[in-house]
Structure 1
Amino acid sequence: MPRIKLTIAYQGTHYVGWQVQPNGVSIQARLMDAVEALLGERVPVEAAGRTDAGVHATGQVVCLSTSRELPLKAYWRGLNGLLPEDIAVVRAEQVPEAFDPRRWSLGKRYRYQVSNRPSRSPLLRATHWEVFAPLDVEALRQGATHLLGRHDFSSFRAADCQAAHAVREVRRVEVVGQRGGDVSITVEGTAFLKHMVRNLVGTLMEVGKGRRPPGWVAEVLAARERKRAGPTAPAHGLLLEEVLYGEGPPPRSPGGMADDDTE
């Protein structure tokens, strides 16, 4: 039975998130409707991870299995003809039947986008967090260095996070941009806790605004208490940029477990 891997992009503004929910329209529901129209059958669609309401993606990975034999371009062009304009398939591949988009992942890369312009920007309001206070970008970079490595990230998990433990490994935190313009914070790691990236960004903004020194980030991390960290950054600034894979399922260790929490 063919196993199809789809890389999809979406603007999450008008959705309740990736996962099907009773309180509104989800990206998963829209994709499943399009797949059903294409294949003539309702099939499950599995994702590498869930994204919250308002969160966007350029590299979400989903998988489906079907008895239908179709050329790969049918999943690309065909589905794009059936999907709404704010969801698109950007790549389709056939993968081994055992492929699991979540458990085979080596990690994810997120990018958080901030507009630091002195006045609001109507064209960016759905994709950037507008922070009007001038940001010290170098201080942001210094604060971000304390987040690298394997740590207990309890200070940066949501109160209702269901993960069994808070040990995660962050491989990259990169701050790009300038005061008064656009600033992006790229975070790459093996796995993430619920709201972890948004809580990291909210904490770094306290440093960028000059309210806290860069070394305070290390103190927050060591405290393992959510109340010590900064606020949760808004969902609409977050972008799932890429899900990373190797040749097969990776070995797992504490901090490297595939997680299923929303971001």
Structure 2
Amino acid sequence: MNYIIWLSYDGTRYDGWQKQGNTEKTIQGKLERVLEKLDGEPVEVRGSGRTDAGVHARGQVADFQLKGKRAPEEVMEYLNRYLPEDIAVWRIQTAPERFHSRLNAVRKTYRYQIELGPKKDVFRRSYYYGLGQELDVASMERAVAYLTGTRDFKSFCGNKKMKKSTVRTLESIRFERLEDTRLHISFTGNGFLQQMVRILTGTLIEVGQGRRKPEDIRSILEALDRQAAGFTAPPEGLFLEKVEYGELI
């Protein structure tokens, strides 16, 4: 039986989503070990995307098959009982046999969180990038016009050996200034390249600092060269917020 789960995790102490041979500290690895105990044989968990080391998720989606027919509620209860406290499954349902959480995704939303004040809040320190200075958000918003739409984002890809298409559709970039010194940037699109959101964020920050002009984005995109874009913002400020599948589920 095929299952789909929605889960949240604090990525602080993990080496990313994807299972790796040199570490046991991955989200995928933790899920597969618990499910193997439940099902009595190895279980492959497929995620909607591979979050990097230190990146968090509020709405990651994954799917897997179990040989036994178990009620979804039983599977979720077992997972939450044996998973670490920093990983939680909050929704589960059966899925069509051919469902694939990555290939069937039609839209994803990421949020990047920045602390503009001189020191991060003690209780939020693991979830914000401590920039420690004000930004010209109006200039950053002007830069968005050059980024949204269907474009080749090769300059914003962290994988220099990427051989597949780097064309993606970025539907929107939204800025939210909270009541204090926090700035949230939300990115929604049909898919994202490796480290794309963090590189976009770093480039927008440089615009906000006055180190780049909004119109510089055009030449960065045209360069098709990672070196043309800004720095890669650190992982702790990034959250995978939501994955959408249209009418499929």
Q: TM-score, normalised by structure 2?
A: 0.93
- For 1:177-196, what aligned pairs fall within 5 Å after superposition? 177=177, 181-196=181-196
Letter in 1 for 2:151: H
CA distance in 2, matches of 1:103, 1:141: 31
CA distance in 2, matches of 1:142, 1:243: 27
Aligned residues: 248
Name the residue aligned to 1:22. 21
CA distance in 2, matches of 1:219, 1:118: 33
1:179-228 Cα shifts (integer Å, max 9, x gaps): 96111111111111111111100000001112222222233223222212
Cα separation, partners in 2 of 1:202 and 1:161, compared to 1, 3 Å: farther
Letter in 1 for 2:32: M
Name the residue aligned to 1:101. 101
Name the residue aligned to 2:141. 141
Cα separation, partners in 2 of 1:161 and 1:242, compared to 1, 3 Å: farther
Alignment of 1:225 onto 2:225? yes
Q: Is the 8 A contact 1:47 1:62 kept in 2?
A: yes
Aligned identity (percent) is 39
Name the residue aligned to 2:3. 4
Name the residue aligned to 1:13. 12
Alignment of 1:89 onto 2:127? no
Following superposition, the deviation at residue 119 of structure 1 comes to 2.2
CA distance in 2, matches of 1:161, 1:85: 36
Letter in 2 for 1:4: Y
Letter in 2 for 1:151: R
Name the residue aligned to 1:258. none
Following superposition, the deviation at residue 144 of structure 1 comes to 1.9
Letter in 1 for 2:130: E
Name the residue aligned to 1:259. none
The alignment partner of 1:16 has SS state of: coil
- For 1:68-217, what aligned pairs fall within 5 Å after superposition? 68-177=68-177, 181-217=181-217
CA distance in 2, matches of 1:61, 1:161: 27
CA distance in 2, matches of 1:85, 1:164: 37
Following superposition, the deviation at residue 161 of structure 1 comes to 4.7
Q: Is the 8 A contact 1:151 1:168 kept in 2?
A: yes
Q: Counting helix residues as a fraction of each chain, which structure ranks higher?
A: 2
CA distance in 2, matches of 1:12, 1:119: 21
The alignment partner of 1:151 has SS state of: strand
Could you list the runs of 5+ residues in structure 1 that have no partner in the other structure? 250-263
CA distance in 1, matches of 2:194, 2:103: 17
Q: TM-score, normalised by structure 1?
A: 0.89
Letter in 2 for 1:90: W
Q: Is the 8 A contact 2:120 2:128 kept in 1?
A: no
Following superposition, the deviation at residue 236 of structure 1 comes to 1.4
1:67-98 Cα shifts (integer Å, max 9, x gaps): 21222211222211110000010100111101
CA distance in 1, matches of 2:7, 2:120: 29
Following superposition, the deviation at residue 248 of structure 1 comes to 4.3
Cα separation, partners in 2 of 1:206 and 1:8, compared to 1, 3 Å: same
Q: Is the 8 A contact 1:174 1:186 kept in 2?
A: yes
CA RMSD of aligned residues (A): 1.8
CA distance in 2, matches of 1:187, 1:71: 35
95-104 or 66-75, larger mean C-alpha shift: 66-75
Letter in 2 for 1:17: G
1:31-54 Cα shifts (integer Å, max 9, x gaps): 111212333332111111111100
Following superposition, the deviation at residue 159 of structure 1 comes to 4.2
Q: Runs in 1 of length 4+ with deviation above 6 angstroms? A: none
The alignment partner of 2:34 has SS state of: helix
Following superposition, the deviation at residue 155 of structure 1 comes to 1.3
Letter in 2 for 1:91: R
Could you list the runs of 5+ residues in structure 2 that have no partner in the other structure? none
